Amino acid sequence: MSISTPEWVKDAVFYQIFPDRFARSEEAADALPMARREPFDNWGSVPTPYSYQGGNLQGIIDHLDYLRDMGITALYLNPIFSAGSNHRYNTFDYFQIDPILGTNETFDRLLAEAHRRDIRIVLDGVFNHVGRGFYPFAHVMEWGSHSPYVDWFHVQDWPIAPYGPGSANYTGWEGISSLPKLNTDNQQVREFIFDVATFWLNKGIDGWRLDVPYEIDDDSFWQEFRQRCKAINPEAYIVGELWFPAQRWLAGDQFDGQMNYLLTRAVFGYMIGDALDRAQTRPMGYGEMPTLTAVEFGAELDKVFNSLYEAPIVQAQLNMLGSHDTPRLLTLANDDVNTVKLAFLCQMTVPGAPNIYYGDEIGLVGRNDPFCRGAFPWMIRNNGIWT
């Protein structure tokens, strides 16, 4: 089978934005129909799992020139659909922008303004699980076994118990009751997800980053997902959150690339080495990250770029040095700016598309979630110099 991946990705420079923390347009925030006069924490306050700092889509629009001037050619946005958290991985409505971020019309403006600057936009697709406010799940909460949406989920007992202590009696992602898992064996659910994906591609987005796609353990699902997306836009980028060697998903019939944490592990193992604080990396997706010698580092790069995948996949990898799920690059490098520069040099020169996590370019720091999700400290720039 001939493998084809989007040509534009191979020369792209991505910038990842966690929308609540990148930039806040005060005018857009003041226009929100909220009962509380001051619904947000102060911009730049210590992030918590439950706090909002009020970043919005208009704030991104206002800073597109900053991104363009830095050489960014693509944005990867963490979830922007209606949800009940600052991270928005618990979707309520896949067809509506979260009102705190703006409206569907605001997103249309963002898309148009980004494209006018030759900046593409890839959205976060959270299709394994939903929020309790997702209409079909809310219907099941209200109507129990009589609901026509019962088979959209994995319910073990009635009545369902979505709140309160103890384990929920339905399947949630990682056992979390606020994240009910969809039943993608149900054809109606599959069609719903395909409709979401094609709806936003028809709007003009340039691709999907897929959240925990390995949780939908079904090659036929992702093969059809790819077919539906590519029928709308053959150059749409489909990239999976896959922390491990992923030949199964990267054979040319499912995803174009993965979030290349394999490269991240190699870079940290060699460039930070024994100085790496493994108490931060061990409990999350990085797992054990052994110190590497130069020879071992070279062997890892050879494996990642020459052995695991075909060349078109290698050229479409999303090369990471951090994300919303990881401690900040400068923090893991023990505030060693030279190490950070060396890591960026490697990221920018190996095959694939580099992805800069917002704020890493100015040395934003932070340990594991939620501290890696701090607000961008916008300051005055004079002649391109931060002051």
Query: What residues are annotated to the active site?
Result: 211, 241
For residue 353, give the amino acid letter: A
CA nearest 229: which of 197, 203, 193? 197
Instruction: Give backbone dihedrals phi and psi of 216, rounded to 5 degrees, phi first.
Output: -95, 90
Q: Which residues contact 39 (CB under 8 A, 6 or more apart)?
A: 32, 52, 54
On the 0-12 / 13-18 / 19+ scale of CB atoms within 10 A, 208 is: buried
Task: Measure the CA–CA gap between 267 and 243, rounded to whole angstroms.
Answer: 15
Instruction: Give backbone dihedrals phi and psi of 53, rounded to 5 degrees, phi first.
Output: -110, 0
Task: Measure the CA–CA gap between 287 and 293, rounded to whole angstroms.
Answer: 19
Helix (H) or strand (E) holding 353: strand 353-357
Task: Measure the CA–CA gap between 353 and 263, rounded to whole angstroms.
Answer: 12
- DSSP class of residue 356 equals E
Instruction: Considering only CA atoms, give the Rg of the chain.
Output: 21
